[in-house]
Each structure stands twice: as structure tokens, then as C-alpha cells.
Chain A
């Protein structure tokens, strides 16, 4: 199987899913879908042994050759790890969803199509080596996320959450596109690998910092970093399998992927180091503090995801310091990158299982409100065990993989003391402190999540359903993840050499040529002199005390004024732009065709006059004119008389007929000037349009909008000025174009080629169907749209008149 085909496999399968859902109703559609990630996970699995040794694979497919855009699938340690996460977690999530979503009640066709679309998009993001195709897949993940969040589209909250997530992530995506374009301009290539090679040159470029900031905005919005995180809690309206998959394990990690992937390019700038580390730590702190405030199980997990993403982000930031130091210090900081990838993997395991448990609790009790839950331990023992494993890992308690990476994180923040640049001096202590406080809150909400749900007093009267253990099928996926959580703790170095080291080597190409160069070993015990040990013990102690006294201090959250929240800002902004756009368009869309004609003609006059004035284009040359014949004078007279008749007549019928006369006289002109095609067309068009006018006659508004008076005079004056302007402009252009021939007329070319190349004799028609066939194609397209518009407009009018609303009957 080719790599590019593998990216598109889910989309291809998605094409047949709706038919399977319709035709094969006795088998849950999910079973068919499950095959896709299973096949892919084994496919990518075959790459592990060679990628471990530092090999990379690349495959290219030209997409838009004229713009040098191609689909490039690049497999190295980093993209392989992500691809395995996407397909592996994907398989577990699909399996889980088979039991979560009812095959009778839910629109599974839609659900799995969106999910497969996402899978393809996400694989595309992590494997693209070409910036533009990376952007394409990036936005595709936003769109599929939008569709999945809004899956239960009849719910207001779902629609709101879907729109919010799309607004914010697409905003970031567009910023990122700007950054990509700047990178493309600087490096004259869109290939990430080639840009990495040029990084030392790029860093001095004036656009460099701009590109850096723009790309980071893209990464921060996607990975729900402060202050863009606000979409993630609202995205929890999605079905739980989606939250587990997109909004915790994969899509939100796309931002982390982006930061990791661009580290070799941007890490040379200190702005990058401080932005990534700072925003990461702030997000970690903010998310963990506010997670404790939440009462919805999934909201707790959403804030915890925000905070954990911040943790990984800050680790990537600290890791990029290795580009600024020399000697043994390089290793000190690359360990942070190692920890980032390690925690990213661990987070996918424990958070995935926790989300699935939240879904199970919701499914089996009917509520996710933690205030109503409690005492489920004896009713749902397996779920409780899994939840405990996940939460303890999240809290960083030994025997679970979270402990290992959490301790490495604390170590990494401490290592900042070795980075002596600028006036950092004693300020470095701020970073470990913030990290430590955030860890305490992480500990608190982890315990809060599991114990407030499963321990305490059971309140069956508050639950919509009678609680019982979930069916085995729903428990399989979280169990697998929970087992992984424990297995990773005991054999971390096995996983490290399989996945983490190749990924770290891809992020830190300067420090490590091949994954085997990384000599670092993960240890659970660092000895008594390790400061991280005491920090961890402190976290457990303070965390436990805070958890026990949670009821005493939690009311503090209520004191935080709601007025200055980011959500309020977002809502205000949306409201404002909505209203503003409305006001703007209703200010000039008056609904009267007279106004629209005035806009159009005024624009015409202004544009033409300006061009003529700026280009100094008016020339009048009266030499070389043909003699005027009697017949021409006669027709001109008729033309003038009928035109004046239109203006002065009081009767509209007369005006229409006079207008027809103008048209027919123009046709006569065409005949004299030997343009039979134009004459024919003009003649028929005139006939048809007079008929049309007569048909519409009855419906036309009054000729004068106003009765006699001041307003009437102004109305007439406006019309007069517009008409005069158009007349003068057209005359000037006609004179000017006759008087100067800047370029040779194209008619010679037509004459020569019309028979030999186009195989026709009538130049006018061959122009229409061949030389400029594109124009004609679009013209008939426009005509069709216009006629459909007229039908719609009149049908609605008719329905309104009749007073019934059955527009569809017509």
C-alpha cells in the first residue's frame, strides 16, 4: 500500500459507508468502519522497525503542478508516532462507538463519514511535508471537527459549540497560512525539510518573527492554548467517542505536532522559546485551576485536557532551548523534548480511557453532572477501576505512566536555571513554581473526578436512569488503554525506543543523528537527591489536603467576576460582527432596483472616468472618418426621436414601444455596418425583451416615485445626472477608442485561424463557442442562476399573496 493511498483510504471507504448504513441494517455500521483503522495501524506498524533505526520514507504525488503544490507523505519518527496514535486510538474509539451509538436511533451514516474524513485529514496533517497541503488537511480537521461537534444538530448547544470551535480554529488556520506563505517567500520552497535545512539563513530574515508568531497562533488555537482554549469546553457537546478521539487524543495535538515539527526552524529564535514555554505554562496553570470549578464530567476532562496540552507545549518550548546552548547542556534540554513526546503518548492513553469512562457514566446513569453522581463504585466496579487508573496516572502517582512523565516535566522546568541568557537570573524560579502549583491542582481535580463520581453517597433519585455496569463492548477500549497505562510504567524504555526516540530525533536533528544516539533512560527512581522527588511529594501532600477541604475553598470560584471572562468576549465579538454585518448590508441593500442601478452606473462612471483621467487616455482624432450617408442620417434621426419619446412620454406603454424602436434601429445600424450576426441577435433580443416588458408591465412600480415637489425634483435630478454621466462616458470611450489603436486588432488572427484551426466559417459564432467558449459557459451558467432566482422570487411572492406557506407545492 502506498503511503499517500493510506492517507486517503478512510475517505475512500467513507464513500460507501452511507450505502452500508442504508442497506445492511442488521449489522452496526461501525464494524465495517473498524476495519479501516485496524488495517492502517498494522500498515504503519510495519514501519516501526526501520524508523527506529533512523530511516525515513517519502512519497510524492503532484497535485497542482503549475503552483508547485504536491501531496508529500513523509514518514519519520514524529509523523509515525502520530499516525499510530491516530489509527490506534481511532480503532479503539470506533470499537467503543459501536456500543455507544445506537444503530436504530442514530444517523450512523453521517457519524462515520465525518469520523473517517477526520482520520484522513489528521493523517494528512502529520505526514504532509508540503506546507500548503499541510494547511489543506489542517482545515479539513477543523471542518470534520465542526461536523462531529454538531452531530446532534438539533441541540442548540451542539450548534453553538460547533460554530465556536470552527470560528476559532479556522481563524488560527488562516493565521497559520499567512505564516506558511511568509516561510515560502523566505525560503522559496514549501517543503518543510528544505526549510529546516535553510533555518540558519532564515533566522535573520525580516519576516522570520512574523512567520513564527503566525504559525504559533495556528498551533495555539488548535491545541486550545490560552487564550484560545475557550472552544474546547464547548466542543464537549460532541458524542463522547468524538471527544475522546478528536478533542483529547488527536486533533488538539495537531498544534503540538506543528510546534514539534517546526522546532528545527523556529527554535533558533528566542521569541519562540519564551512564547511556547510561557503560553504552555500559563495554559497548564489556567486549565488545572479551572478544572476544579467544573461540575460536568466532560467539562472537567476538557479543562484538564487544556491544561495537559499546555504542559506538553511548555516542554516543547523548554526543549527548543537546546538550540541556544552548547556542550552537555544540550542534552539537559533535549530531555524536555523527550518528556514532551512521552507525556503526549501517556496523555493519549490515560485521557482516552477517562473520556470513555465519562461516556459510560453518562450512558448508564443518564447524567454527567458530578453533583448528582456518587457511590457508583459498587455498581460499576470495572469502570471505577479504569477511572482510577486513568486519574492516578493523570495526577502523577507512581505505578502509572503519568508519574514518569510528570516527574520529567518538573525536572525540565528546574533545568531552566542553566539557561543564563539576558536577565533571567533568579526569575527562572517562576517557571517551576507555576508548574508545581498547576501540578497540585491537577492532583486535586484528578481525585475530584474519580472519587466524586464513584465514591461517596449514591443518589439514585437524582439519576435519570438506574445505574449499572456498562456492556462489555464499551469496556474493552478503555480497558486496553488502562492496561497500557500500567504497562508503560513498567517497561517505559521499550516504548521509548519504539516511539519516543525516533520522534525526538526528528525534532532535534542537530543533537541526534539517529534515534540510537539518545542515551537517555526513563527511570522511576532518581535517588534521594533528586529535587523533583520532593516536588512530587509536596504535590501529593498539598494536593491531598486541598482535595479533602475542597468544599471549604471551592466557593472562591464564585467570586470571580463573570464579566471579564474570555467567553463573554467571544460572544460579544460574534454578536457585534453579526449585527455590524447586518447593519452594513441593510444600509445599502434597499430592496429597490432603482438604487441598485444607481450604484452600478455610478460605479461604472467613476471607474471609467478615473481610469481615463489617470491614464490620460482621451484622444480625439477626426481624421480618417468615413463619409456620412443619407441613410445613416435618417436612422440616427429615428433613433434620437424614439429616445426623446421615452423620456418625455407620460405613458409607460409608449415608452416601452419607443424603447423597442431604439433597439430595432440599432439593429439597422448593424446591418449597414455589415454585422449580420449582431443584427440578427439584436433583432430577436429586442422582440423577446419587448414581450417581456409587456408581460411585466402590470407589475412595474409607478414611473415617478414621488408626487410633485422637492423630493420628486431631487429624484429626477439624480436620475438625470446618472444618465448624463453614463452617456458622456460611453461617448468619450467610443471617440477615444476610435482615435487610437494602441495594439493591433485581434481580428486578423481570427481571420487567419478560423477555418484552419477552429474548423468554422463564422468568426462571431466561433468566438462564442470556441475561442472564448469559457465566457459562454459561464454566461449560460449565470443565465441559469438568474432564471432560478426569478422563479424563487416570484414563487415566494405568489405564496405570500395567497397567504399560504406551501411554497414547495409550486
Chain B
């Protein structure tokens, strides 16, 4: 049976990017306002899930040809290295540092090692959820 998905497919094409940008937004906003890497990652995965619902697994895989296991691994490594980096400065494991910088375009921005750690969390969450959903959904 061929179903007519035209409306959802068209909306998804737009909505996907809105959700994606929103996930990036709450990821960066996380340190000061609600959000963070964990939620950001989940929002991102829900965007991809929406894609999967509108289209099908195979099409989504062609759209986003990424290996989620690799993404998970990269995320885990980023987090671990951020945590372990402190060892080289002779401070206890997982000591975060932050400072304020004047960046072009963005103005005064605080850069925090916690953000790198959070990036890792973000990637792991996306990688893991998508991997699981893809495996279970694709298993026929």
C-alpha cells in the first residue's frame, strides 16, 4: 500500500532544520538557561526520528550518511579527553576552567571547558539513541 505522505514530508523538510537549530541553541544556552548537551542531543535525535517517520529509514540514511557508532565514539573520546586534560596541568581529574574572550561577531563570550565536555555528551546521546532506533526500526 502506498500512502500519501506529501504534507508531512513537506513540513518535515522545513521543521527538521528548525528543530536542528533549536537543539544547537539549547545546547549552547545550557550553561546559563535551561538546556544543555543532554537535552540538545535528545532534541536532535527527535528531529532525525521525525525524518524517519516522514520518509523511511533508507532515505534518511541517504540523507544523513553517518555512522552513529562513530559519532558515539567521537563524543565519548571528546568527553574523556576534556576530563583527562586537567591531568596535564597538574590539577585533579575533571577540573574545569573558563574565561571570557572577545570573539569577532559574537562579542564577549565565555569559553568553558565544560562546553567541550557537553559537546561529547551531545554527540553520545545523538549517536546512542539513533543507533538504537535505527537498529530496532530497521530490523525486519
Interface residues, chain A, with chain B CB atoms under 8 Å away: 676-677, 680-681, 684-685, 687-688, 691-692, 695-696, 698-699, 758-762, 764-766, 768-770, 773-774, 776-777, 780-781, 783-784, 786-788, 790-791, 794, 797-798
Interface check B5, CB cutoff 8 A: no
Q: Are B83 and A777 in contact (CB under 8 A)?
A: yes
Query: Which of B69, B127, B136 is in CB contact (< 8 Å) with A695?
Result: B136
State which residues 110-139 of B face A: CB under 8 Å: 110, 112, 114, 117-118, 120-121, 124-125, 127-129, 131-133, 135-137, 139
**CB atoms of A769 and B117 under 8 A apart:** yes
16 A-B pairs within 8 Å (CB atoms) are namely: A677-B36, A677-B39, A688-B42, A691-B53, A759-B96, A759-B98, A764-B36, A766-B31, A769-B117, A769-B121, A776-B117, A776-B121, A777-B80, A780-B128, A784-B76, A794-B135
A788: B residues at CB distance < 8 A? 69
A443 to chain B, nearest CB (A): 62
Cα–Cα distance between A780 and B120 once the two chains are bound (Å): 9
User: In the complex where A680-B39, A784-B124 touch, is A765 in contact with B132 (Cβ < 8 A)?
Assistant: no
Q: Within B72-94, which residues are at the interface with A (CB < 8 Å)?
A: 72-73, 75-76, 79-80, 83, 94
Write the nearest CB–CB distance from B9 to chain A, whole angstroms.
Answer: 17
With beta carbons under 8 angstroms apart, the residue of A758, A762, A791, A798 that contacts B35 is A762
B128 interface neighbour in A696, A770, A773, A783, Cβ under 8 Å: A783
Q: In this complex, what residue of A is CB-closest to B114?
A: A769
- Complex contacts, A777 vs chain B, CB 8 Å: 79-80, 83, 94, 117
Interface pair B133/A695, CB less than 8 Å apart? yes
Which of these, A695, A780, A784, contacts B137 with CB under 8 Å? A695
For A698, list chain B residues within 8 Å (CB): 140
Name the CB-closest residue of B to A691: B49
Given known contacts A677-B34, A759-B112, A684 and B121 CB-to-CB distance under 8 angstroms: no
CA distance A780 to B83 in the complex (A): 13
Instruction: List B contacts of A769 (CB < 8 A).
Output: 36-37, 96, 114, 117-118, 121
> Secondary structure at chain B's binding surface: helix, strand, loop or mixed?
helix
Please determine whether B31 and A688 come into contact, CB atoms closer than 8 angstroms: no
Distance (whole angstroms) from the CB of B132 to the closest CB of chain A: 5
Report the minimal beta-carbon distance from B58 to chain A, rounded to whole angstroms: 15
> How far apart are B38's CB and chain A's nearest CB, in angstroms?
6
Asked whether, in the complex, the Cβ of B136 is within 8 Å of the Cβ of A781, the reply is: no
**A765 to B69 CA separation, bound complex (whole angstroms):** 25
Q: Is B45 an interface residue (CB 8 A)?
A: yes
Total count of chain B residues near the partner, CB < 8 A: 49
Q: Which of B41-71 contact A (CB under 8 A)?
A: 42-43, 45-46, 49, 52-53, 69
A787→B72 contact, CB < 8 A: yes
Shortest distance from the beta carbon of B21 to any chain A beta carbon, whole Å: 15
Contact A681 B117 (CB under 8 A): no
Given the interface pairs A680-B39, A688-B42, A769-B117, the reply to whether A762 lies near B34 with Cβ below 8 Å is yes
CA distance A794 to B139 in the complex (A): 7
**A677's contact among B35, B53, B129, by CB below 8 Å, is which?**
B35
Q: Which residues in B have their C-beta under 8 angstroms from that of A794?
A: 135-136, 139
Contacts of A687 in B (CB 8 A): 46, 49
Residues of B within 8 A of A760 (CB): 31-32, 112, 114
Residue of B nearest to A795 (CB): B135
CB within 8 Å for A783 and B124 given contacts A759-B98, A766-B114: yes
Chain A residues with CB under 8 Å of B132's CB are 692, 786-787, 790
Contact A774 B94 (CB under 8 A): yes
A766, A774, A783: residue with the most chain B Cβ atoms closer than 10 Å: A783
Across the A-B interface, the 9 shortest Cβ-Cβ residue pairs: A761-B32, A765-B36, A695-B137, A759-B98, A684-B42, A780-B124, A676-B34, A769-B114, A787-B128
Known contacts A759-B98, A769-B114, A770-B96; A780 and B121 CB within 8 A of each other: yes
Residue of A nearest to B37 (CB): A769
Known: A765-B34, A783-B72, A788-B69. 16 other contacts (CB 8 A): A684-B43, A695-B133, A696-B136, A759-B98, A760-B31, A760-B112, A760-B114, A761-B31, A766-B114, A769-B96, A769-B118, A784-B73, A787-B69, A790-B135, A791-B135, A794-B136
Whether B11 is near chain A, meaning CB under 8 Å from some CB there, is no
Q: Most chain-A CB neighbours within 10 Å: which of B38, B80, B133? A: B38
- In whole angstroms, how far apart are the Cα atoms of A781 and B120 in the complex? 11
Measured CB to CB, the closest approach of chain A to B29, in angstroms, equals 8
Q: Are B75 and A780 in contact (CB under 8 A)?
A: yes
Q: How far is the CA of A762 from the CA of B26 in the complex (A)?
A: 12
Smallest Cβ distance from A807 to chain B, in angstroms?
14
State whether B31 touches A790 (Cβ < 8 A): no
In the bound complex, CA of A639 to CA of B49 (Å): 26
Specify the chain A residue showing the minimal Cβ separation from B130. A787
Q: Looking at the assembled complex, report how far the CB atom of A654 sits from the nearest CB atom of chain B, in whole angstroms.
A: 19
B102 close to chain A: CB less than 8 A: no
- Point out the residues of chain B lying under 8 angstroms from A773, CB to CB: 83, 94, 96, 114, 117
A676-B34, A769-B37 known; A784 vs B139 contact (CB < 8 Å): no
Chain A residue, CB-CB nearest to B97 = A759
Instruction: Contact check, B114 vs A787: say whether CB atoms are below 8 A apart.
Output: no
Could you say which residues of chain B place their CB within 8 Å of the CB of A786? 128, 132
Residues in chain B near residue A770, CB distance under 8 A: 96, 114
Closest-CB distance, A793 to chain B (whole angstroms) = 9
Q: Cβ of B33 < 8 Å from any Cβ of A? A: yes
Residues of chain B within 8 A (CB-CB) of A784 are 72-73, 76, 124, 127-128
Distance in angstroms between the alpha carbons of A758 and B98 in the assembled complex: 8
Q: In the complex, are the beta carbons of A758 and B96 less than 8 A apart?
A: yes
**In the complex, what distance in Å separates the CA atom of A790 from the CA atom of B139?**
12
Which residues of B are found within 8 Å of A797, using beta-carbon distances?
Answer: 139
Contacts of A685 in B (CB 8 A): 42
User: Is the Cβ of A692 less than 8 Å from the Cβ of B136?
Assistant: yes
Q: How many whole Å from B25's CB to the nearest CB in chain A?
A: 12
Residues of A within 8 A of B73 (CB): 784
What is the distance, in angstroms, from B37's C-beta to the closest C-beta of chain A? 7
B133 x A692 contact (CB < 8 A):
yes
Cα separation A790 to B133 with both chains bound (whole Å)? 10
A695 contacts across to B, CB distance below 8 A: 133, 136-137
